[in-house]
Structure 1
Amino acid sequence: MRFGGIRRAGLPASQIFFYRGRSLVDPDFVRTGLPDGPAQGAEPTPSPGLACPQNALEALLLRRARQLAPDGVRFVTRLLSFSQDGDGVHAVVEETNTGQRHAVRADWLVGCDGASSGVRSGAGIAMEGPTGLGHFLSIRFEAPLGDVVAERASASYFLTEPGRGGFLAVDNDRHWIYQHPFDPQRDDIADLMSDQLQLAQLVREAAGLPNLEVTVQDTMTWRMDAQLAETYRRSRVLIAGDAAHVIPPTGGHGMNTGIGDADNLSWKLAAVTAGTAGQALLDTYESERRPVARQVIDLSLANSRGARRATRRSRAPSPPRGGAGAFHGRAGPSAASVRTAPTTPPTRRTRDFPPATCAGARLGSRKGNRSAARSGVRALRARTGPFQCGRVAAGLLPGLVPMGADKGWRLGIPAGPLAAVL
């Protein structure tokens, strides 16, 4: 899959800026961006900053996955249990729409199932680090704001006092997300989420437009954590993405880090399953990737502290350290920051979901290991049985999640020697 399709689905490069003001119509707003051009420091990647709504991104990833493995992606499927021995992993999965269960035997199990990973907990891998650093109510809404922001269009809109929270642009026209901070000990967030009029009023007040027409499409609470798994591997079970690290969304590094995990792990698994490398190669996955996640978590925490200080000042903020990205987090229980609009009013959901990733995450670029990844597609063939799924691209391990997963089910990709639970 080329980045061109993703870039076309995202915001144009001219809108990759950070806005700061008391509202969306603040005449004293400040808009900052990243250094641009060789004189100021060229981007160290052929794919510079990109903001793409995740409902669009996941559709592209799903299409590509099905091109590589037409029968390899199964929705409404969740992992019930697993056990491992010296030769592989035995798992039981369930089709949630029918209740039918299947036994899956695989050489390896990779848990790419998010911050609340069942694979991680099942493997007995603990998380280290603080939780509850912040609580936010995401309001996904539609409103005619294109003309309002036309001369100040940005990817992220930080609100300074007396404003609260911020806006995330989905298309910088009609589709938006507003992130409203709240105190779970003080605010009755459940009642707020069930009150359409009050939700719309929150958006109007934050935008600074008392007569704005607002259609609330969905709501979700989420919690900011900063955690790292104590290990990335337990024998034949490995974890990647948010299952291995929960990164504050300030800076937009969560998805990048997960993609880096997949890039590192996929070719190694392909080599081991193909018999061209020993299992010791997999030990380098943790030694190479866990220190990166530690550094990114620390960087994102520093960005978070800087963002909080800047909201109390009127001066222009510095762009988040480490690259562009949205600070806002997401608006749904899966990794989808923007989900398909429901046909019914927003459901009342009060469960906290630690952020899985954030819209606007930059896609890195890395040369090399491509032939190994391609060989991995050939190597990861399904065994016979009820889950004879063909082939799956190992490089897509953390990329796909079910959209609209109201009941918290996960997408399973059992694929012969490798079973990936996303």
Structure 2
Amino acid sequence: MSVPSNVSVLVVGGGPVGLTVSALLSGHGVDHLLVEARPGTSTHPKARGLAARSMEIFRRMGLEPAVREAGLPPSQVSFYRGRDLVDPDFVRTGPAHRPAEDEHDEHTPSPGLICSQDVLEPLLLRHARDLAGPRVRFGTRLLSLADDGHGVDAVVEDTTTGARHSVRAGWVVGCDGAASTVRREAGIAMEGPTGLGRYLSVRFEAPLGEVVADRASASYFLTVPGRGGFMAVDNDRRWIYQYPLEPGAERSDDLCDPGHLAELVRTAAGIPDLDVTVRDTMTWRMDARLAAAYRVSRLLLVGDAAHAIPPTGGHGMNTGIGDADNLAWKLAAVVAGRAGDALLDTYGAERRPVARRVIDISTANARDRAGYRIDDELLLTADYRSTAVVPVPGTGAGGHTALDATGLHPDCAPGKRLPHVRLVGGSPDITSTLDLVGPGFTLLTGTDSPDRRREADTLRGAGIPVEARALCDGARREAVPGGWARIGGATGPDDALLVRPDGHVAWRATGFSRGALAEVLRHVLSTA
């Protein structure tokens, strides 16, 4: 199929974040083109940890079962510390989320897992192509952009044939990584330190399954005198070894010598006669940088194009997936003419503080490699402040932080993610409050409210995607009675929560006031 000459959105970059953007835009009915310079998906595991919030997003997309099946078993999501892989005095710990003692304490229906990027990307690509077909194009790179304020003229090139194509796009979303062409063309600076560490990543095969059988983990951190650490791809034969490089070592001939690389692996593993087959290598640099802006005119940045997050904590890819979820519905509303352009400014206002906090936490982890923990629930605590949220009267932003590193404290305040409460009865596809959200706005009540239903129906008839849904509808009910009330849910007969397509609460209504919902939606969509 030929490259389209006009699209509403051009997505640049087909890694996990770009493919998530594509799938979400398709779900919102947005005409778009995705271009990726690589001929295929990653062969290197790279990012591996999928946090609970990413899995909740994949749940909403219908992808959670496939991703969970492809990931490591939950029993192996532990973290090993020892001098080498055969250290008899090893220590193994689990993720730093509070284990649920009962269903009162359950914070998510979709806990995180380990699913390496080389496994995840093909799943996302298949899903994106199922929705957008040949408009998801690998082997096509962006050459240039020209933003005239009314649209963007792009030139892309087929990397196999060299054929060039001109594309006129309403908006461009840069998901093209740390060396982003979109960011460069937008003139957006990156702020923060570079070179916090340099590493050689060795992808290899070795019969280590029996060696780690009694200590199987997702990551193996080597303590003094060990250097670097191992990442399990399958905890059997497929592995990654991360070796810290000294300044200038990136140019060493030894880095190209399979024999030398195999010896590095044997030394770190503590097994001198280990049979090692090196498959490939890559070098990478640990940075802690943040884009000065997420939007300039019609160019937007997502994922690593917007933030370089140290991998110590496993939040980089997950932060990018959260970016995609935040931006997609807003871009869809603007493209459809339901929202003003100012809605896109709330993307940076909401997501940039999250990235800032994640960078700070991950940088602190990098200084404490022997002691930091993986927090599966950190990104569930994201709390937004922007014009796309209507605060409760009398509350302000004083003392507000974008993420709460002390843990998740669920409530239904505007700006926060809708809390999970387990549901039973009714449709088997709805087992959590999170399953009631989307694809448009959701007006959530505790029990059925005819006034709310009529109000939502009227607005939907006028072209605003909003639907009234009741937590308990006669057949459906809470698995543990009283959970919704305990977290401050809408419990009065006409109390309601307006939940955005990304699952964050936009507005909390106490009692029914005719016309209030329409006014709030105009405010949220920047059309007031």
**Normalized against structure 2, the TM-score is what?**
0.60
Q: Which residue of 2 aligns with 1:155?
A: 218
Alignment match of 1:32 (pick from 89, 93, 102): 93
Tell me if 1:94 matches 2:157: yes
C-alpha distance in structure 2 between counterparts of 1:322 and 1:290, whole Å: 20
Q: Which residue of 2 aligns with 1:218?
A: 280
Matched letter for residue 29 of structure 1: F
Alignment match of 1:14 (pick from 75, 81, 87): 75
**Displacement, 1:280?**
1.0
Q: Which residue of 2 aligns with 1:406?
A: none
C-alpha distance in structure 2 between counterparts of 1:367 and 1:90, whole Å: 39
C-alpha distance in structure 2 between counterparts of 1:320 and 1:175, whole Å: 22
**Displacement, 1:304?**
0.9
Alignment match of 1:243 (pick from 289, 305, 327): 305
Structure 1 residues 182 and 124: CA distance shift in structure 2, 3 A: same
**Displacement, 1:190?**
3.1
C-alpha distance in structure 2 between counterparts of 1:81 and 1:168, whole Å: 37
C-alpha distance in structure 1 between counterparts of 2:251 and 2:162, whole Å: 33
Tell me if 1:320 matches 2:383: no
C-alpha distance in structure 1 between counterparts of 2:297 and 2:250, whole Å: 44
**Per-residue CA distance 1:360-411 (angstroms, 9 max, x = gap):** xxxx9966763239x9xxxxxxxxxxxxxxxxxx99xxxxxxxxxxxxxxxx
Q: Which residue of 1 aligns with 2:352?
A: 290
Which structure has the bigger radius of gyration? Answer: 2
What secondary structure, in the 3-state scheme, does the structure 2 residue paired with 1:5 have?
helix
Q: Which residue of 1 aligns with 2:290?
A: 228
C-alpha distance in structure 2 between counterparts of 1:254 and 1:208, whole Å: 30
Alignment match of 1:46 (pick from 106, 109, 133): 109
Tell me if 1:195 matches 2:257: yes
Identity of aligned residues (%): 64
What secondary structure, in the 3-state scheme, does the structure 2 residue paired with 1:238 have?
strand
CA contact (8 A) 2:365 2:372 kept: no
Matched letter for residue 159 of structure 2: T
Q: Which residue of 2 aligns with 1:416?
A: none
What secondary structure, in the 3-state scheme, does the structure 1 residue paired with 2:275 have?
coil
More off after superposition, 187-196 vs 287-296:
187-196
C-alpha distance in structure 2 between counterparts of 1:66 and 1:367, whole Å: 24
Q: Following superposition of structure 1 onto structure 2, how do residues 4-403 of structure 1 map, counting pairs within 5 Å? A: 4-34=65-95, 35=97, 37-39=99-101, 42=105, 44-185=107-248, 187=249, 189-307=251-369, 310=370, 317-321=371-375, 370-372=438-440
**Displacement, 1:188?**
6.0
What is the count of residue pairs matched by the alignment? 331
Structure 1 residues 170 and 42: CA distance shift in structure 2, 3 A: farther
CA contact (8 A) 1:16 1:49 kept: no
C-alpha distance in structure 2 between counterparts of 1:42 and 1:149, whole Å: 32
Matched letter for residue 133 of structure 1: L
**Superposition CA RMSD, Å:** 2.5
Structure 1 residues 370 and 324: CA distance shift in structure 2, 3 A: closer
**Displacement, 1:85?**
1.2
C-alpha distance in structure 2 between counterparts of 1:241 and 1:56, whole Å: 19
What secondary structure, in the 3-state scheme, does the structure 1 residue paired with 2:439 have?
helix
**Per-residue CA distance 1:132-156 (angstroms, 9 max, x = gap):** 0000000000000000001100001
**Normalized against structure 1, the TM-score is what?**
0.74
Q: Which runs of 4+ in 1 moved over 4 A?
A: 40-43, 321-325, 364-369
C-alpha distance in structure 1 between counterparts of 2:151 and 2:89, whole Å: 61
C-alpha distance in structure 1 between counterparts of 2:92 and 2:136, whole Å: 42
Structure 1 residues 262 and 244: CA distance shift in structure 2, 3 A: same
Structure 1 residues 78 and 160: CA distance shift in structure 2, 3 A: same
C-alpha distance in structure 1 between counterparts of 2:307 and 2:91, whole Å: 33
CA contact (8 A) 1:156 1:169 kept: yes
Structure 1 residues 207 and 258: CA distance shift in structure 2, 3 A: same
**Per-residue CA distance 1:272-323 (angstroms, 9 max, x = gap):** 101111111111001000000000000101111111xx2xxxxxx3523565
C-alpha distance in structure 2 between counterparts of 1:46 and 1:114, whole Å: 30
CA contact (8 A) 2:112 2:376 kept: no
Matched letter for residue 23 of structure 1: D
Unaligned stretches of 5+ residues in structure 1: 311-316, 326-363, 376-393, 396-422
